[in-house]
Chains A and B, each alone.
Chain A
Amino acid sequence: MSETILQVEDLKAYYFTPNGVVKAVDGVSFSVERGRCLAIVGESGCGKSTLVSSILGLLTPPGRIVDGKIIFEGQDLLTKSQVEIRQIRGRKIGMVFQDPMTFLNPLMTSGFQVAETLIEHLNMPLAEAMGKSVGLLTDVQVPDPNRVSRSYPHELSGGMRQRVLIAISLSCNPTLLIADEPTSALDVTIQSQILDLITSFKEKYKMAIIFITHELAIVPRIADEVAVMYAGKIVETGPVAEVMQNPLHPYTQALKNSYARARKQILPSIKGSVPNLANPPPGCRFHPRCPYVFKPCTTLEPGPSTPHPDRTVYCHLYGSEDVKL
């Protein structure tokens, strides 16, 4: 049971701005299998959202995909026309975003917005679609689904809106769900409920999930694999338990260490700030902030090395093959 749903190969998405080329996603490769959840973790400006837009075919100028492949169920999405992508997006690939209010139409009832997807993609008659939308709202554990389906988004709480958005994204039984910071705007108790809900759907429908987040601490709650992004590149991938237990890349280590552990102690912090992607540092992009920096880091970009099976890290400390010490 290891059917690859999405495979991204050496994806490069750049923004061509008057101030130079911003390499927001620069050679990113990963894959997600059916029934698995991949968390992509990174700080703001690391290219997570550009990556999502690229996969969904939503990248708009000045952004452009320069190179790479996005293979979804055996077909390269980058060779498809906008019309063909529209048939996949929403039907085979579901999406949930951070701020549900900007993705729900304030002038339509939430029930109709769920039904709209069914009508558009499955040519379902309106009455049947409205009936099914109540069922979908029940599935996402909305209290009193009949009332919610007649409510407008402003009448619902943030957690309810996020549930409606999840109902929309699940309406056509997608094989891949992309969740871009779906719980960042929610309170912890609601966040916990939404994470449980997404996990239950992963198991029930055997979906593949890409979960984008900046919060390393919620990764063990939801994901099976994790990829850590820094300045447009993936720096480390592996199974969640192993990466969290024993992070290899100095950036992952620093992220983990910046969570408070001992009380009233000075936290080990990462010096400096995230580099400007229009002019990233040469060599390893993390080297100006890395405590272990040594000679090759400043000039040579680290290649992948696999110190453990299943795990990949892009760091000279683990002796990538192209460096001779």
Chain B
Amino acid sequence: MSQVGEKLLELIDVKKYYPVRGGFLLRTVGHVRAVDGVALQIRRGETLAIVGESGCGKSTLAQIIAGLIKPTSGKIIFNGVEIKDNMLHDISLRHKIQMVFQNPESSLNPRMTVRDVLAEAIKAKYGNTIDEDALNEKILNLVNSVGLTPQHLTRYPHQLSGGEKQRVSIARALATEPELIILDEPVSALDLSMRAQILNLLLELQQRHYLTYIYITHNLEQAWHLSDRVAVMYLGKIVELAPTETFFHKPLHPYSMVLLSSAPLLEASFEVQKIKPVGEPPSPLNPPKGCRFHPRCPFAFDRCRETEPRMLEVEEGHWVACYLAEESSKLHNVQPLVK
């Protein structure tokens, strides 16, 4: 296990609302609350898995952190410096945070060879004036570190397999020597036998370069394998945040239990209370009042329908937003996460 260091990234009450326009004059008639008040801290060297179903806002959150979209409100503090609106232009920050996307088909330019892709990323950091020898050396180092050979350099994306393309995407992310890499479902598009190879590569690179990962996935197996902590998102909010071992053996939020009982896990040793999932996630345009999970929750009671539970720390490092967990544990040291 990697050692975990000081705080690298902090999100304070980050929100992203998308306006929905309708009617004759296309006035704003409502908002899709894609990310609705997320608070998180990520420490250097750790892997935080963000799990959730499609539409829960996990990819939006990833893109906010990567600076690809601007949050509606909230603060993002990276390495002690608040990232302001000018993040999009602040090149030095962008080098430190890189992203690997789910689909390598659409994230690699079909007209650029592997060498072009990597050279572009290196020049983005070192400038166009970098001399040819230094550039070549850096490119060779990169392809070696992701398990490709120099023969791959002259190939175009369509000449590579899915796994090789994803290796190129990872090499491109490494080119600017980042501290934080956001991995948005990096192996979901790959075949089973390729998946293991890429997961191994990610573990190896993390140890070698002391990288911090945010691993976005809907696959709990991968979260178990790679992460130090797991955050569960439901309809734009984090509902549970716990160290990985705790999360898999002692989840507290009913939604986490539903996820764990319905996920196809080969390792059936997690003794989790089995809850059959009912219904489908409601629209983030009009989330339910109170706890957002209450219409699908088998334990919901009156309070859940009225007011929204806050994130509370029920144990060291184990946060959950659920009245049940709050009541049952009768906590000794309860602190709200968001003031």
* Interface 0/1 of A151-182, CB less than 8 Å to B: 00000010110000000000000000000000
* Interface 0/1 of A202-227, CB less than 8 Å to B: 00000000000011111001000000
B225 touches A264 (CB 8 A): yes
Q: Which of A186-216 contact B (CB under 8 A)?
A: 187-193, 196, 214-216
Is A58 an interface position by the 8 A CB rule?
no
Is A274 an interface position by the 8 A CB rule?
yes
Stretch at the interface among B11-19, B122-130, B258-266: B258-266
Minimum CB–CB distance from B259 to chain A (whole Å) comes to 6
Q: For B204, list chain A residues within 8 Å (CB).
A: 266
Q: How far is the CA of A268 from the CA of B222 in the complex (A)?
A: 14
Q: For B329, list chain A residues within 8 Å (CB).
A: none
The residue of chain A having its C-beta at the shortest distance from the C-beta of B55 within the complex is: A187
Is A43 an interface position by the 8 A CB rule?
yes
B203 touches A189 (CB 8 A): no
> Given A157-B280, A189-B259, A189-B262, A274 and B192 touching (CB < 8 A)?
no
* Interface 0/1 of B192-207, CB less than 8 Å to A: 1111110110011000
A273 touches B193 (CB 8 A): yes
The residue of chain A having its C-beta at the shortest distance from the C-beta of B223 within the complex is: A260
Stretch at the interface among A234-242, A251-259, A315-323: A251-259
Is B53 an interface position by the 8 A CB rule?
yes
Contact size class for B?
A: 35 or more
Is A75 an interface position by the 8 A CB rule?
no
B199 touches A273 (CB 8 A): no
Q: How far is the CA of A217 from the CA of B54 in the complex (A)?
A: 20
A269 touches B218 (CB 8 A): no
Minimum CB–CB distance from B35 to chain A (whole Å) comes to 18
Is A261 an interface position by the 8 A CB rule?
yes
Q: How far is the CA of A268 from the CA of B244 in the complex (A)?
A: 22
> Given A189-B277, A260-B221, A270 and B193 touching (CB < 8 A)?
yes
Q: For B203, list chain A residues within 8 Å (CB).
A: 264, 266
> Given A159-B280, A189-B258, A192-B262, A267 and B193 touching (CB < 8 A)?
no
Is A299 an interface position by the 8 A CB rule?
no
Q: For B200, list chain A residues within 8 Å (CB).
A: 266-267, 269
Q: For B264, list chain A residues within 8 Å (CB).
A: 188, 191, 215, 217-218, 221
Number of interface residues, chain A, beta carbon within 8 A: 40
A187 touches B53 (CB 8 A): yes
Minimum CB–CB distance from A287 to chain B (whole Å) comes to 15
Q: How far is the CA of A160 from the CA of B280 in the complex (A)?
A: 9
> Given A191-B262, A217-B265, A269 and B277 touching (CB < 8 A)?
no
A255 touches B193 (CB 8 A): yes
The residue of chain B having its C-beta at the shortest distance from the C-beta of A244 within the complex is: B266
Q: How far is the CA of A265 from the CA of B261 in the complex (A)?
A: 24
Minimum CB–CB distance from A286 to chain B (whole Å) comes to 11
Minimum CB–CB distance from A74 to chain B (whole Å) comes to 36
B163 touches A188 (CB 8 A): no
The residue from A187, A259, A266, A273 contacting B54, defined by CB atoms under 8 A apart: A187
Minimum CB–CB distance from A223 to chain B (whole Å) comes to 12
Apart from A187-B218, A273-B163, 9 more pairs, CB < 8 Å: A188-B220, A192-B261, A216-B192, A217-B266, A255-B192, A260-B221, A260-B267, A266-B204, A267-B199
CB pairs A–B below 8 angstroms (29 shown): A43-B192, A43-B193, A160-B280, A187-B53, A187-B218, A187-B281, A188-B263, A192-B261, A214-B192, A215-B264, A216-B192, A217-B265, A217-B266, A218-B264, A255-B192, A258-B195, A260-B221, A260-B222, A260-B226, A263-B224, A263-B226, A263-B244, A264-B1, A264-B225, A266-B200, A267-B196, A267-B199, A268-B196, A274-B193
B interface, CB within 8 angstroms of A: 1-2, 53-54, 161, 163, 191-197, 199-200, 203-204, 218, 220-222, 224-226, 244-245, 258-259, 261-267, 276-277, 279-281
A interface, CB within 8 angstroms of B: 43-44, 143, 157, 159-160, 187-193, 196, 214-218, 221, 244, 254-261, 263-270, 273-274, 289
